Amino acid sequence: MADRARSQSDELATHGVAKVLAPVAQTLLGRAMPVQVRCWDGSRLGPDSGPTLYVTSPKAVRQLLWEPSQVGLARALLAGQVSIEGDVVEVLERLVSAVTAPDAELPAAGWRDRLAIVKAAASLGALGLPERPPPEEARLRGRLHSPRRDAEAVSHHYDVSNEFYRLFLGPTMTYSCAYWPAGVDTLDQAQTAKYELVARKLGLEPGKRLLDVGCGWGGMALHAASVHGCEVVGITISQNQAELARQRVEDADLGDRIEIRLQDYRDVDDAGFDAISSIGMFEHVGPDQLREYFTLLLARLRPGGRLLNHGIARPTPGGGGRPDPHSFVNRYIFPDGDLREVGQVITLMEGAGFEVRDLECLREHYGRTLRAWAVALQSSWSEAVEQVGERRALIWLIYLAGCAVSFEEGATTIHQVLAVRPDGGRSGLPASRAQLMGWDDPQSLVTAPTL
Residue 327 lies in a domain: yes
- Regarding whether 152 and 104 lie in a shared domain, the answer is no
Which residues have a Cβ under 8 Å from the Cβ of 111 and sit 6 or more positions away? Answer: none
Give the mean model confidence (pLDDT) for residues 295-301: 97
Residue 135 lies in a domain: no
Give the mean model confidence (pLDDT) for residues 230-236: 97
Which H helix or E strand runs over 290?
helix 290-300
- Regarding whether 154 and 85 lie in a shared domain, the answer is no
292: pLDDT strictly greater than 50: yes
CB 212 within 8 A of CB 223: no
Q: pLDDT digit string (tens) for 53-76?
A: 999 999 998 888 888 777 888 888
- The pLDDT value recorded for residue 447 is 57
307: pLDDT strictly greater than 90: yes
Q: Which domain-ending residue is among 107, 123, 139?
A: 123
Instruction: Note the pTM of the prediction, 2 decimals.
Output: 0.85
Q: pLDDT digit string (tens) for 191-200?
A: 999 999 999 9
- Regarding whether 164 and 85 lie in a shared domain, the answer is no
> Higher pLDDT residue, 121 or 350?
350
Distance, CA of 419 to CA of 426 (rounded, Å): 13
Instruction: For CA atoms 59, 62, 67, 68, give the dihedral sign.
Output: positive
- Regarding whether 432 and 287 lie in a shared domain, the answer is yes
User: What 3-state DSSP class applies to 107?
Assistant: coil
Residue 141 lies in a domain: no
Angle, CA 18 vertex, CA 12 and CA 21 arms, to 5°? 90
- The pLDDT value recorded for residue 106 is 42
Residue 138 lies in a domain: no
User: Worst-scoring range by mean pLDDT, 167-181, 227-241, 314-328, 352-366?
Assistant: 314-328
> What does the DSSP 8-state code read for residue 303?
E
Residue 134 lies in a domain: no
Q: Which domain-ending residue is among 123, 158, 176?
A: 123
- The pLDDT value recorded for residue 28 is 74
Q: pLDDT digit string (tens) for 209-222?
A: 999 999 999 999 99
Instruction: Name the residue among 99, 137, 165 with its Cα closest to residue 332.
Output: 137
CB 288 within 8 A of CB 323: no
Q: Which domain-ending residue is among 123, 157, 175?
A: 123
- The pLDDT value recorded for residue 5 is 44
Please count the other Cβ atoms lying within 10 Å of the Cβ belonging to residue 325: 11
Distance, CA of 126 to CA of 133 (rounded, Å): 17
DSSP 203-230: T--TT-EEEEET-TTSHHHHHHHHHH--
> Can you name the residues that pair with 55 across neighbouring β-strands?
39, 82
Give the mean model confidence (pLDDT) for residues 46-58: 89
Angle, CA 64 vertex, CA 62 and CA 70 arms, to 5°? 150
- The pLDDT value recorded for residue 298 is 97
> Three-state SS string across 13-55, please?
HHHCHHHHHHHHHHHHHCCCCCCEEEECCCCEECCCCCCEEEE
Distance, CA of 16 to CA of 147 (rounded, Å): 52
- Regarding whether 309 and 255 lie in a shared domain, the answer is yes
Please count the structural domains in the chain.
Answer: 2
- Regarding whether 171 and 50 lie in a shared domain, the answer is no
Confidence of residue 1 (pLDDT cuts 50, 70, 90): very low
Which H helix or E strand runs over 377?
helix 363-379
Give the mean model confidence (pLDDT) for residues 270-288: 91
- Regarding whether 430 and 392 lie in a shared domain, the answer is yes
> What does the DSSP 8-state code read for residue 282?
G
Residue 140 lies in a domain: no
CATH number at residue 421: 3.40.50.150
Q: How far is CA 171 from CA 236, 261, 313, 410, 450, in A?
A: 19, 22, 27, 29, 10
- Regarding whether 185 and 86 lie in a shared domain, the answer is no
Confidence of residue 395 (pLDDT cuts 50, 70, 90): confident
- Regarding whether 341 and 237 lie in a shared domain, the answer is yes
Range of the domain at 8: 2-123
Q: Phi-psi region for residue 286, left (φ > 0), alpha (ψ -120 to 50) or beta?
A: left
- Regarding whether 238 and 105 lie in a shared domain, the answer is no
403: pLDDT strictly greater than 60: yes
Instruction: Name the residue among 106, 57, 94 with its Cα closest to residue 77.
Output: 57
- The pLDDT value recorded for residue 104 is 45
Residue 219 lies in a domain: yes
**For the chain, what's the residue count?**
451
- Regarding whether 231 and 361 lie in a shared domain, the answer is yes
Residue 312 lies in a domain: yes
CB 249 within 8 A of CB 260: yes
Estimate to the nearest angstrom the gap between the alpha carbon of 328 and the chain centroid.
11
- Regarding whether 329 and 211 lie in a shared domain, the answer is yes
